[in-house]
Amino acid sequence: MSGEAAAQAGRPELEKEAWISAVLLEWGSCGRVVYVDEVPAGFVLYAPAAYVPRSLAFPTSPVSSDAVQLMTARVLPGYQGQGIGRVLVQTVAKDLVRRNVKAIEAFGDAKWEAPSCVLPADHLLAVGFKTVRPHPRFPRLRLELRSTISWKEDVEMAIDRLLGAVQKEPVLRPL
The predicted pLDDT at position 12 comes to 79
pLDDT in tens, 108-131: 999 988 778 899 999 999 999 999
Is residue 64 included in any domain, yes or no? yes
Is residue 22 included in any domain, yes or no? no
Is residue 136 included in any domain, yes or no? yes
The predicted pLDDT at position 138 comes to 97
Position 104 confidence tier, pLDDT thresholds 50, 70, 90: very high
- In this model, does residue 71 exceed pLDDT 90? yes
| Host H or E run for residue 47 | strand 39-48
Q: With pLDDT > 90 as the criterion, what percentage of the chain qualifies?
A: 66
- Residues spanned by the domain of 130: 30-174
Question: Which pairing describes strands 31-36 and 39-48: parallel, antiparallel, or unpaired?
Answer: antiparallel
The predicted pLDDT at position 163 comes to 58
Position 154 confidence tier, pLDDT thresholds 50, 70, 90: low
Is residue 4 included in any domain, yes or no? no
Is residue 9 included in any domain, yes or no? no
Position 164 confidence tier, pLDDT thresholds 50, 70, 90: low
Looking at residue 39, which CATH number applies to its domain?
A: 3.40.630.30
Report the mean per-residue pLDDT for the chain. 85
Structural domain count, the chain: 1
The predicted pLDDT at position 150 comes to 57
Is residue 52 included in any domain, yes or no? yes
Is residue 128 included in any domain, yes or no? yes
CA 116 – CA 109 distance, rounded (Å): 9
For residue 105, give the nearest of 75, 131, 77 by alpha carbon.
Answer: 131
| Host H or E run for residue 73 | strand 67-75
The average pLDDT across 27-32 equals: 95
The average pLDDT across 132-146 equals: 96
